[in-house]
Amino acid sequence: MAFYQKFFLNEQLPFVPRRRYTPLKGACLFGRVPILIGMLLMLVLLSGCAHQKFVSEPYPRWGEESSIYQPGGNVPLILRTLVPSEPAKAPACILLVHGMNEHIGRYGEVAHYFSRQFLVAGFDFYAHGLSNPVLQQADQALAAGAGRQEVGDAFLAQSLLHDLEPLRRTLDLALRQTIALCDAQSDSKRPVFIVSHSLGALVAASYLMQSQKEDDPAKRVRGIVFLAPAFAVSEPPGWRGWVANPLIKLSFHAETHFLHPQNEPLPLLLFNQLFSLITVPLLDGMFEVFSWPGLRSFLTPVSPAWVTDYLTDSEAEKARLRADNWIVRRSLLRYVKGIEEEVVRFRRKMDQFTIPYYLVYSEDDPITPAWGNKDFARVTLKNHSDNAVLALSNLHYHQHLFLKEPARTELLMKIEKWMDFRLRSLEY
């Protein structure tokens, strides 16, 4: 859900070798690094705690379900679809992509809105929703008549997530099936749009940039909507930010410069490279160890209650969020570090993003800060004449599709209007 709920606000994973490093001498020059590492350790120890979570209601389904086989022993991927009253007349198809630790079941009302005109599909990312084996088993047990199910260990499904590649693979499967269903409803190959939120937007953007072959399903995507995309690292507000933000910025700075010169003057370049060569392995090692079995149960922080206040201004939606235990509320620290590295890698080449987009973000969002969106728009807006940006000033809420009315419906209408504009552009 909310992209990072972040750094120490929510993540976890098991052992996957990451990088090989050559030990450096002179680490004593950076005496402050161990102090900052100690601060991180303290934060993790303070925020990690016994975490029990139960579900007693079935997973919130919408639309028709179709199962997609996944290799490697993973649970089948379930694609949900809704079609308009006259499917053959739908001008395009939409794939909904959810954010970090949430699930596509939350998007039923959004899917119904768009299905008035478009064929709409949605799915759960790897380790999320019904793609999470713990949550899927709980749903099956509830359907069979069992009582409430304990799902506090659902976060352990993130154990292989040292980067976003498993999520990109799920997106690829879902997009292929969406295209197949879209084509089955019409004699022509209709355009496909992606509507993506937060971490899901980063996954979708990086996936679309990876596609090279002519038969890649990404070639059918004619536009993407980015809602609060994770193009930056989080900036926790309040007293947590006073403690956490310096370390977050330190880690992001080190990762950005790690073996990657930034056209600095030579003295600064040497300092940044030496600093990153010391800091990145230290943090990678710490986050890896904290994600090992035996340690992750009490070193994995739980998403703090304040995060919900920054997701939506709707009190009814906040109540639903707090009661929704299909949301994974912990994340392995290895996964959090992997997300940071993905953000850095994407930013290095984001100027090459050429698919038309509609970018929506809040100016004061602490979960995916505005500076990441501004950087993205600055280097890509010129890449296509249909690119558009909607910056919501004086707003700090992260989940725009769940704002209270009338803002929610107004935004849905703006998204629909942009897609209609894109469809008209494709006719010429």
Res 16: pLDDT: 39
Assigned domain for 168 exists = yes
**Is the previous residue joined to 17 through a cis bond, with omega within 30 degrees of 0?**
no
Res 301: pLDDT: 79
Confidence of residue 9 (pLDDT cuts 50, 70, 90): very low
Q: Compute φ and ψ for 408, nearest 5 degrees.
A: -60, -55
Extract the tokens encoding 200: 């899901």
DSSP state of 94: E
Higher model confidence: residue 72 or residue 414?
A: 414
Q: What mean pLDDT comes out for the span 275-281? A: 93
Res 12: pLDDT: 35
Q: How far is CA 14 from the centre of its chain?
A: 20
Res 18: pLDDT: 45
Q: What mean pLDDT comes out for the span 63-71? A: 93
Distance CA(139)–CA(307), nearest Å, equals 26
Res 15: pLDDT: 37
List, for residues 76-126, the tens digit of each pLDDT value.
999 999 999 999 999 999 999 999 999 999 999 999 999 999 999 999 999
Res 256: pLDDT: 94
Higher model confidence: residue 238 or residue 97?
A: 97
Assigned domain for 1 exists = no
Assigned domain for 37 exists = yes
Q: What mean pLDDT comes out for the span 307-325? A: 95
Distance CA(241)–CA(16), nearest Å, equals 30
When mean pLDDT is compared across 41-45, 270-274, 281-285, 299-303, the lowest value belongs to 41-45
Distance CA(49)–CA(330), nearest Å, equals 11
Q: What mean pLDDT comes out for the span 301-314? A: 89
Range of the domain at 360: 27-427
Assigned domain for 54 exists = yes
Q: What mean pLDDT comes out for the span 297-319? A: 89
List, for residues 220-230, the tens digit of each pLDDT value.
999 999 999 99
Assigned domain for 2 exists = no
Confidence of residue 41 (pLDDT cuts 50, 70, 90): very low
Rounded to the nearest 5 degrees, what angle is found at the Cα of 24, between the Cα atoms of 19 and 29? 125
Task: Reply yes or no on whether the pLDDT at 46 is more than 50.
Answer: no
| CA-derived radius of gyration, the chain | 21
Please give the torsion angle defined by the CA atoms of residues 219, 224, 226 and 231, in that order, rounded to the nearest 10 degrees: 20
Task: Reply yes or no on whether the pLDDT at 24 is more than 80.
Answer: no
**Is the previous residue joined to 406 through a cis bond, with omega within 30 degrees of 0?**
yes
Distance CA(167)–CA(328), nearest Å, equals 15
Task: Reply yes or no on whether the pLDDT at 268 is more than 90.
Answer: yes
Q: Is the pTM of this model over 0.85?
A: yes
Confidence of residue 50 (pLDDT cuts 50, 70, 90): low
Q: What Å distances lie between residue 270 and 27, 31, 48, 317, CA to CA?
A: 14, 18, 37, 49
Could you tell me which residues come within 8 angstroms of residue 281 by beta carbon, excluding any fewer than 6 positions away?
19, 21
Extract the tokens encoding 199: 């971490």
Distance CA(402)–CA(99), nearest Å, equals 13
List, for residues 126-165, the tens digit of each pLDDT value.
999 999 999 999 999 999 999 999 999 999 999 989 999 9
Assigned domain for 20 exists = no
Assigned domain for 217 exists = yes
Percent of the chain with pLDDT over 70: 87
Extract the tokens encoding 196: 């993506």
Distance CA(109)–CA(94), nearest Å, equals 14
Report how many domains make up the chain. 1
Q: CATH number for the domain including 112?
A: 3.40.50.1820
Q: What mean pLDDT comes out for the span 222-249? A: 92
Confidence of residue 306 (pLDDT cuts 50, 70, 90): confident
3-state secondary structure of 40: helix
Mean pLDDT over each residue of the chain, to the nearest integer: 88
Q: What mean pLDDT comes out for the span 187-208? A: 95
Res 314: pLDDT: 96
Higher model confidence: residue 286 or residue 415?
A: 415
In this structure, the chain runs to a length of 428
Res 51: pLDDT: 63
List, for residues 319-343, the tens digit of each pLDDT value.
999 999 999 999 999 999 999 999 9
Q: What mean pLDDT comes out for the span 260-277? A: 92
Percent of the chain with pLDDT over 90: 73
Task: Reply yes or no on whether the pLDDT at 2 is more than 90.
Answer: no
Rounded to the nearest 5 degrees, what angle is found at the Cα of 304, between the Cα atoms of 301 and 305? 155
Assigned domain for 252 exists = yes
When mean pLDDT is compared across 40-49, 104-113, 169-178, 375-384, the lowest value belongs to 40-49
Q: What mean pLDDT comes out for the span 349-374? A: 97
